[in-house]
């Protein structure tokens, strides 16, 4: 009997199964988690169900080929992916700072995968097994199948097929293509001749080898001409359709990247089969000592309902990866998984989510999508919902109702994104009311992203009025339900099209609704989105018109700070932004002002002639002590309000006046009280929080480099 139901990760596991050789070896930048939220788990289980022997090499060390050899050479090929999250996004923040944790690694440890993992792994495999068949897939490969702008190096890179040296690339969701490839390899066909499968890309030596295609601007053109880059982005965006789309070809220095049509969406029966496979729903036990894999925490008790999204947000790459045609699991499949989930030892009674890219999308947006494809020049929801849009929440609601009735289930939450414009288009309020009554965990998170019409236009998001109407409806139904629940809006700063004026408009909106976000997401230019093409080119690929791009570090910081204008730490940069935008009218004490005027220095002796004059030595000391400080931290930065307050207090008690005057305005002009002595002694016994915040002890520089695995 097997020790566990996980797929082999070493030779001992193979021997236990009686296997001398594997058909496929999956190499992934994530730790091995056998849950259907992880691409590695899905593809490996799909191949296993087809009768293939599959092993897993998770997060191999890349300073040698040893880890890549530990399972031997596969009979049919290596399958390589960069993990659930783009490795570069996994490593770096939008400001290109190294992150401190990796949720997809044991114990959250950073540094267990290389930058551009797919490329590094493929080159190591080729070094270890020169003639091996290598097939790449997953998010990293899928979004880099054409020449693409790379934010981290600030240049256009070639298709990942060239840099990795892989034989084939699977883009999008890979269950159907990987099985077709496996069958062709099993039949003896070499990978270089497998060119007919939808959902795959390959390299051709000549255009004579390709039939019925549409050519897009070449790598050379898009890397030197931003207009050509925008043109290529537009064609790629419009042709990602399995029915009406075209085969796309892009020249790279005399060779050609060929993208076949995307796969036709899986049927409900096919999707059920994928999610009904025997996943263990947990991380491999070898990670237990390190504290497990943090990423499993939220998804372990969540249910996937659907794939694909017809929302078409410009900054999102789901359209480029999963497509616009929504596919969903059956009610029976979802309920069956939930009934199994409640028997897990660590199940506490809460199903964390029922959703997908968009929780309330369960079917294609209209009936013609599966016959004629998606509209080439029209979107389903933007700028307004299409007249042909099928708006229906009842199937989704019925699943929620059934989940609520399962024994041991206390609550079913909806935490995936909800399209509030889709909800507002539904004339039946039943779902809206039951969502509020049963499925909100105190806070409902939605994504208006902005309020400026100019910015929303480039984002592909509905108008601010739609969001306002949604919040009013939410508040009305919440009040009727007798609950205290709130909307938490996701907001984005520095998106293409966002000027300082746009950011100020959003700040004023936040002022008016008395809300300040704890976190603000700067726009992150990642491969595969229209917004990234805008960021690089300064053009809207759909109209070819110029777009304002906030590029400088200073302006990005200003736009981000404006969304948190109430934070005292943001005062100076918010003020600088308002001055630069000629909006000093928002600096003051009025109800419409964002911030108060900056505190000014006041000559204390002139305003208080009776005050004890500091000694010469004391004056020199104060001068010396304050010369190296920012003026706003100086003890002499007193406002007129402070003076009025001190004068009022002085009329009550002469003794109090003297004490407070000396204590508040001149730390060296008199001796502190015993209480003050105690306080000062306590404060001087350790460094202040301000001086050490965000810094290493003893002022040492942060010597941490880009993540490496050498010697680990």
Do the beta carbons of residue 12 and residue 170 sit within 8 Å?
no
pLDDT (0 to 100) of residue 143: 98
Q: In 129-267, which residue ranges form alpha helices assigned H by DSSP?
A: 138-142, 160-164, 175-186, 219-224, 226-238
201 is in an annotated binding site: no
Whole-angstrom distance between the N-terminal and C-terminal Cα of the chain?
33
Consecutive H or E run containing 553: helix 553-562
What sign does the CA torsion over 296, 302, 306, 309 have?
A: negative
Consecutive H or E run containing 478: helix 464-480
pLDDT (0 to 100) of residue 437: 97
Q: Beta strand 77-81 with 24-28: parallel, antiparallel or unpaired?
A: parallel
431 three-class SS = helix
> Nearest Cα to 122, choosing from 112, 133, 111, 109?
133
Burial of 231 (0-12, 13-18, 19+ CB in 10 A): buried
659 three-class SS = helix
pLDDT (0 to 100) of residue 4: 72
**pLDDT tens digits, residue range 179-226?**
999 999 999 999 999 999 999 999 999 999 999 999 999 999 999 999
- Can you list the domains of the chain with their CATH numbers? 11-207+250-259 (3.40.50), 301-441 (3.30.750.210), 445-598 (3.30.750.200), 602-617+631-658 (no CATH)
Question: Alpha carbon of 53 to those of 18, 35, 182, 245, 591: distances in Å?
Answer: 11, 18, 11, 35, 69
pLDDT (0 to 100) of residue 45: 98
316 is in an annotated binding site: yes
Question: Alpha carbon of 462 to those of 311, 323, 419, 420, 467: distances in Å?
Answer: 10, 20, 10, 9, 8
- Side-chain half-sphere of 150: how many Cα atoms within 13 Å? 19
pLDDT (0 to 100) of residue 605: 53
Q: Give dist(CA 356, CA 321) in Å, integer.
A: 14
> Nearest Cα to 304, choosing from 371, 234, 365, 355?
355
Q: In 342-393, which residue ranges form alpha helices assigned H by DSSP?
A: 369-372
309 is in an annotated binding site: yes
**pLDDT tens digits, residue range 513-569?**
999 998 889 999 999 999 999 999 999 999 999 999 999 999 999 999 999 999 999
335 three-class SS = helix
Q: Give dist(CA 121, CA 102) in Å, integer.
A: 19
- The pair phi, psi for residue 193, each rounded to 5°, is -105, 0
- The pair phi, psi for residue 81, each rounded to 5°, is -140, 160
Phi-psi group of 699: left, alpha or beta (phi > 0 → left; psi -120 to 50 → alpha; rest → beta)? left
Q: What is the mean pLDDT of each run of 10 residues along the chain (712 residues)?
A: 82 97 99 98 98 99 98 98 98 97 98 98 98 98 98 98 98 98 98 96 96 97 99 97 98 98 97 98 97 96 96 94 96 98 96 95 94 94 95 97 98 94 97 97 93 97 95 97 94 98 98 91 97 98 98 96 96 97 97 91 55 44 39 38 40 40 35 39 38 35 42 38
pLDDT (0 to 100) of residue 608: 55
What one-character-per-residue DSSP string does 225-237 give?
A: -HHHHHHHHHHHH
pLDDT (0 to 100) of residue 615: 46
pLDDT (0 to 100) of residue 96: 96
Q: Which two structure tokens, joined as six digits, stand for 293?
A: 């894999």
Question: Alpha carbon of 586 to those of 505, 574, 576, 638: distances in Å?
Answer: 11, 10, 12, 22
């Amino acid at each position: 009997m097997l020790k566990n139901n996980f797929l082999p990760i070493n030779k001992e596991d193979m021997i236990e199964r009686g296997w001398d050789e594997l058909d496929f070896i999956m190499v992934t930048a994530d730790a091995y988690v056998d849950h259907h939220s992880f691409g590695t788990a899905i593809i490996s289980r799909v191949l296993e169900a087809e009768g293939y022997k599959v092993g897993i090499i998770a997060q191999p060390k890349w300073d040698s080929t040893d880890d890549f050899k530990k399972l031997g050479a596969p009979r049919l090929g290596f399958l390589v992916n960069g993990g659930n999250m783009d490795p570069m996004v996994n490593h770096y923040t939008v400001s290109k700072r190294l992150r401190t944790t990796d949720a997809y690694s044991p114990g959250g440890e950073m540094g267990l995968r290389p930058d551009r993992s797919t490329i590094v792994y493929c080159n190591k495999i080729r070094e270890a097994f020169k003639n091996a068949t290598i097939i790449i897939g997953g998010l990293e490969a899928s979004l880099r199948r054409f020449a693409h702008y790379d934010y981290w190096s600030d240049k256009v890179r070639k298709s990942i097929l060239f840099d990795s040296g892989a034989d084939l690339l699977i883009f999008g969701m890979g269950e159907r293509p990987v099985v077709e490839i496996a069958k062709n390899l099993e039949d003896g066909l070499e990978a270089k001749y497998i060119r007919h499968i939808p959902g795959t890309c390959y390299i051709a030596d000549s255009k004579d080898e390709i039939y019925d295609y549409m050519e897009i601007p070449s790598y050379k053109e898009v890397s030197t001409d931003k207009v050509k880059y925008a043109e290529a982005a537009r064609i790629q965006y419009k042709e990602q359709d399995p029915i009406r789309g075209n085969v796309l070809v892009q020249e790279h220095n005399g060779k050609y990247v060929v993208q076949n049509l995307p796969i036709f969406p899986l049927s409900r029966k096919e999707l059920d089969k994928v999610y009904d496979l025997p996943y263990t729903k947990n991380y491999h036990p070898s990670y237990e000592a390190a504290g497990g894999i943090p990423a499993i925490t939220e998804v372990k008790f969540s249910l996937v309902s659907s794939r694909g999204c017809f929302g078409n947000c410009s900054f999102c790459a789901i359209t480029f990866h999963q497509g616009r045609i929504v596919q969903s699991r059956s009610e029976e499949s979802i309920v069956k998984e939930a009934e199994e989930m409640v028997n897990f030892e660590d199940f506490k009674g809460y199903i964390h989510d029922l959703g997908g890219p968009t929780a309330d999308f369960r079917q294609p947006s209209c009936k013609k999508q599966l016959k004629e494809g998606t509209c080439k020049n029209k979107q389903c929801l933007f700028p307004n919902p299409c007249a042909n849009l099928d708006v229906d929440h009842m199937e989704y609601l019925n699943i929620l109702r059934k989940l609520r009735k399962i024994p041991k289930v206390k609550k079913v939450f909806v935490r995936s994104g909800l399209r509030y414009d889709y909800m507002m288009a539904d004339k039946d309020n039943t779902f809206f009311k039951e969502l509020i009554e049963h499925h909100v965990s105190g806070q409902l998170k939605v994504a208006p992203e902005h309020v400026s019409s100019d910015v929303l236009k480039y984002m592909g998001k509905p108008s601010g009025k739609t969001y306002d109407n949604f919040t009013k409806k939410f508040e009305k139904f919440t009040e009727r339900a007798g609950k205290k629940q709130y909307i938490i809006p996701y907001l984005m700063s520095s998106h293409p099209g966002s000027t300082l004026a746009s950011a100020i408009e959003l700040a004023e909106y936040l002022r008016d609704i008395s809300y300040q976000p704890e976190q603000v997401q700067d726009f992150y230019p990642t491969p595969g989105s229209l917004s990234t093409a805008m960021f690089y080119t300064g053009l809207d690929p759909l109209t070819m018109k110029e777009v304002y791009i906030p590029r400088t570090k200073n302006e990005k910081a200003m736009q981000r700070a404006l969304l948190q204008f109430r934070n005292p730490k943001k005062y100076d940069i918010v003020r600088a932004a308002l001055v630069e935008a000629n909006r000093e009218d928002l600096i003051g004490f009025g109800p419409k002002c964002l911030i108060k005027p900056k505190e000014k220095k006041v000559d204390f002796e002139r305003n208080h002639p009776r005050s004890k004059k500091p000694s010469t030595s004391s004056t020199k000391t104060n001068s010396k002590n304050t010369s190296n400080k920012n003026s706003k931290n100086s003890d002499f930065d007193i406002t007129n309000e402070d003076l009025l307050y001190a004068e009022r207090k002085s009329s009550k008690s002469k003794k109090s006046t003297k004490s407070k005057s000396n204590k508040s305005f001149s730390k060296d002009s008199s001796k502190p009280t015993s209480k003050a002595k105690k306080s000062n002694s306590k404060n001087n016994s350790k460094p202040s929080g301000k001086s050490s915040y965000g810094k290493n002890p003893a002022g040492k520089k942060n010597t941490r480099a880009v993540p490496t695995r050498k010697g680990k």
